[in-house]
Chain A
Amino acid sequence: MSGARARLRRLGLAGLAAVAMALAIPAGAVQPDEVLPDPALEERARAISGGLRCIVCRNESIDESNAELARDLRLLVRERLVAGDSDAEVMSYVVDRYGEFVLLRPTLSGANILLWAAPLLLIGLGGALSIVYIRRRAVAVAPAEAALSPDEEARLKVLLKE
């Protein structure tokens, strides 16, 4: 807890500076010298980078960021890929070093399950409430409009035929 609080405080103080730095030279991102010769590998590297957060920036992936640290991480990702790691192995390699804070897509574990389940729970709950509401409104319709009993309908048919 104290670690988290210290981090918060640090972010609070350094927030503006970090933001200014992060967005300062935005056109940087992936540099030509970082691009891997193998297009397939490079594409994987880009996809992985898009899911990793630049730690010194706010809310930017390392793929978009121009921060020095983001560049280091991009190179690290490519290094691991060249060494033959799978995407998952690269991810866990980075998470081991920098913590799960770097994952822009939260893992499906612990309390995060609630986050991932939230859309389903909400639509389920909201959907059920909506159906109950609509049904109740529809029931109010029924007596007025379904005024004809089967018996009456049969008589109506006869009348219409005549």
Chain B
Amino acid sequence: MITELGHFALILAFMVAIFQTIVPLVGAHRGNVGWMSVAEPAATTQFLLTAFSFGALTWAFVTSDFSLNLVTANSHTDKPMLYKISGVWGNHEGSLLLWVLILTLFGACAAWFGSNLPPGLRARVLAVQSSVAAAFFAFILFTSNPFTRLAVPPMDGQDLNPLLQDPGLAFHPPFLYLGYVGLSMAFSFAVAALIEGRVDAAWGRWVRPWTLAAWVFLTIGIGLGSWWAYYELGWGGFWFWDPVENASLMPWLIAAALLHSAIVVEKREALKSWTILLAILAFGFSLIGTFIVRSGVLTSVHAFANDPERGVFILMILGFFMGGALILFALRAGAMEAKGVFSTLSRESGLVLNNLLLAVSTFVVFIGTIWPLVTEIFSDRTVSVGPPFFNMAITPFVFALALALPIGGMLAWKRAQLGRVLIQLVPALVLAVAVALLCWAAFTGKSTLSPIAIGLSVWLVAGALVDLWTRTGRAGGLAARIGRLGRLPRADWGKAVGHAGFGITLFGVAALTGYQVEDIRVAQPGQPYRVGAYEVELLSVDRNVQGPNYISTMAHVALRGPGGEQIALLHPEKRLYPVAGMPTTEAGIDSGWTRDVYLALGDPQPDGGWALRTWIKPFANWIWGGTIIMALGGLLSLTDRRYRIAAGGAKARPVAARGLPAE
């Protein structure tokens, strides 16, 4: 019964979405306030109906209602409760329901917190947002209905893919979707502004928090996914340039470009049409990401569905919204005249460089991702584009970005003096070069890229600190300046923290890829051996350890320091999930500030030993630590005073010079 109500609520939400698309749009065109104001209650209703529908599906999973096809295919009574719940979105249909749930949530948020928007713009934003929702409701109802019943319910389910039964992956999709879908708000604002034909500083201020929030969610989502891959897939990689990873990286890069260019719109009323274009493209890449993952066109681990019907449907959604928005853009963008003027050397130019590098990186990733498909369609060649290409193509952009960032971030608006900025940055530069040289000298014979990247990461972090410090001004002594640090606008802190986070992630990546130590051998129980500075001893192996829904082969390995003192007892496992018929590995990891020791258990050998791989991965956790810090920077920026107070329509003129945040 609850299932049917959930299904019914979903159909109703679809109807409301269509209604909310048409009526406010017509109302805004005619200036009919009544028709316009329909949008807000409709957005709330749409969200509540979708939430009810999602709740009904969750209920079916929690109670293991195997009369539902979806529950049978993706759940099992023995599964721990966390994975029964995460199983709701661990499949195609359920994940799409989560997608629209978030889409309608954002729409509702725009209705609830958008009271300071001009009524016309608000009505149009909500209408555009609702049109996206309507398309996805149709997609779910016509091609991917989660509420399909089975005529004969089985006794038990087929279990969720064991690889997905993991805390990291349980929360990875919701965060990614919050990011993907958050960009739909930027899209709705862009299209609404194009329909209105007006983009001003206030628009930049409204669109930026949404983009920032979406970017923060994407950052967390990507970080979780990468962390999961690190400890779950068994060889400690953190990024594989898999198409589905690229699908999330592209919107992230574009969103990063967008949240920087929106600053220029807000502060200087320049880069307007470019920002609109970025807002459209950002959501476009989210849709492309959805298409890649959902259609299975570039099959990989995340592609749950490979039904062409669904792929074609998403492609139609993509074509409709991107085509429509870009045509609108071509017609209207010319009318948006930039007001702000700036000289060649200025913060504005720095942000143009930022946008150039981020946008080009996005397109390079895009071309690399679809290249195998392109060659397959247009010629008879079947080629692969893998990590070697992406690493080579993207590294220069990352380096250029890291090199320019501290300088560009400190240039003054309008007209800057490069010399002054460089002098302030001298300590950061000296430190960075010294560290890079030290790494290069300490590890001769290794890649030269790692010392460069490490130097750049020091440059980024030190540059962020210098930036923050110079913002405290010169007046007063040390104590006065430290006191002023706390009173700097949150946006200044967000900028410094976010940029430092980028540096920390870069540092982790460089250290891990450049200096990890690997050992592969047959370990005999009771015979210790050395790996780097550590001693590893396989103590014993337990077979048939019973887990809640798996059987494990668990090794017990002692990790000792140089002096023979025990550091940790590690338990790398090989698990078999009998229902899904699938084995997985659980690495044994001793995490630390400066290194992870990572153990992966292999097969038993005829002589009684076990294949055991040991890695020492320097600064591995810094990769995700930096990711969290980047997200934190975004959050700090999001809580800046100007979004809480000065977000009003007519009031939102460029703020007075005194309180002008750096960002």
A residues apposed to B, CB below 8 Å: 1, 3-4, 7-8, 11-13, 15-16, 18-20, 23-33, 35, 50-51, 53, 58-61, 64, 99-107, 110-112, 115-116, 118-119, 122-123, 126-127, 130, 133-135, 137-138, 140-141, 144-145
Contacts and interface: CB of A to CB of B under 8 A. Distances in A.
A13 to B, nearest CB: 8
Interface in B291-311: 296, 299-301, 303-304, 306, 308
20 contacts: A1-B380, A4-B382, A12-B296, A15-B299, A18-B299, A27-B613, A29-B235, A29-B613, A31-B603, A50-B387, A51-B386, A59-B300, A61-B386, A64-B235, A102-B384, A104-B389, A119-B397, A134-B348, A137-B270, A141-B341
B51 interface: no
Contacts of A51: 386, 388
A131 B70 CA distance: 54
A63 B324 CA distance: 45
A16 B73 CA distance: 14
B449 interface: no
A126 B520 CA distance: 46
Interface in B377-399: 378-389, 392-393, 396-397
Chain B: interface size category: 35 or more
A106 B383 contact: yes
Given A19-B299, A27-B602, A110-B381, A122 B306 contact: no
A135 B383 contact: no
The 6 closest A-B pairs by CB, nearest first: A104-B386, A105-B388, A26-B234, A15-B299, A27-B234, A27-B585
Contacts of B388: 50-51, 104-105
A132 B235 CA distance: 47
A32 B299 contact: no
B212 to A, nearest CB: 24
Contact of B344 (A102, A115, A138): A138
A11 B299 contact: yes
Nearest to A30: B520
A34 to B, nearest CB: 8
B356 A141 contact: no
Contacts of A60: 240
B348 A19 contact: no
B242 interface: yes
Contact of A32 (B241, B378, B387, B611): B611
A133 B264 CA distance: 14
Interface in B333-352: 338, 340-344, 348-349, 352
A116 B587 CA distance: 37
B356 A130 contact: yes
A115 B367 contact: yes
A138 B343 contact: yes
A106 B371 contact: yes
Contact of A64 (B237, B296, B340, B522): B237
B376 A137 contact: no
Nearest to A26: B234
B583 interface: yes
Contacts of A112: 375, 383
Nearest to B300: A58
Nearest to A60: B240
B353 interface: yes
Nearest to A65: B235
B360 A135 contact: no
B521 interface: yes
Interface string B510-540: 0000000000111000000000000000000
Contacts of A133: 352
Nearest to B375: A111
B311 to A, nearest CB: 10
A130 B306 contact: no
A64 to B, nearest CB: 6
A102 B384 CA distance: 7
Nearest to B522: A32
Contact of B343 (A35, A64, A104, A141): A141
Contacts of B296: 12, 15
A89 to B, nearest CB: 19
Contacts of A3: 380
Contact of B306 (A16, A29, A137): A16
B342 A118 contact: no
A137 to B, nearest CB: 5
A149 to B, nearest CB: 19
Contacts of A28: 602-603
Instruction: Name which of A29, A126, A137 has the most chain B CB atoms within 10 A of its CB.
Output: A137
A135 to B, nearest CB: 7
Nearest to B163: A23
Given A15-B299, A28-B602, A104-B387, A137 B574 contact: no
B233 interface: yes
Given A15-B306, A64-B237, A103-B384, A140 B584 contact: no
A29 B389 CA distance: 22
B603 A119 contact: no
Instruction: Name which of B242, B270, B389, B587 has the most chain A CB atoms within 10 A of its CB.
Output: B389
Contacts of B303: 15-16, 19
B601 A138 contact: no
A102 B349 CA distance: 43
Contacts of B360: 119, 122-123, 126
A30 B242 CA distance: 21
B304 to A, nearest CB: 8
A134 B271 CA distance: 10
A141 B342 contact: yes
Interface in B560-595: 572, 574, 582-585, 587
A17 B349 CA distance: 50
A5 B304 CA distance: 21
A130 B353 contact: yes
Contacts of B364: 118-119, 122
Given A4-B376, A58-B299, A126 B582 contact: no
A106 B603 contact: no
A101 B344 CA distance: 46
A35 B341 contact: no
B380 A4 contact: yes
B500 interface: no
Contacts of B243: 59
A32 to B, nearest CB: 5
A35 B520 contact: yes
Contact of A27 (B521, B582, B600): B600
Contacts of A26: 233-235, 584-585
A110 B371 CA distance: 13
B383 A103 contact: yes
Given A104-B387, A107-B383, 17 more contacts: A16-B299, A19-B300, A27-B235, A27-B613, A29-B234, A31-B603, A32-B605, A59-B241, A101-B383, A111-B375, A115-B385, A118-B393, A134-B352, A137-B342, A137-B348, A144-B341, A145-B343
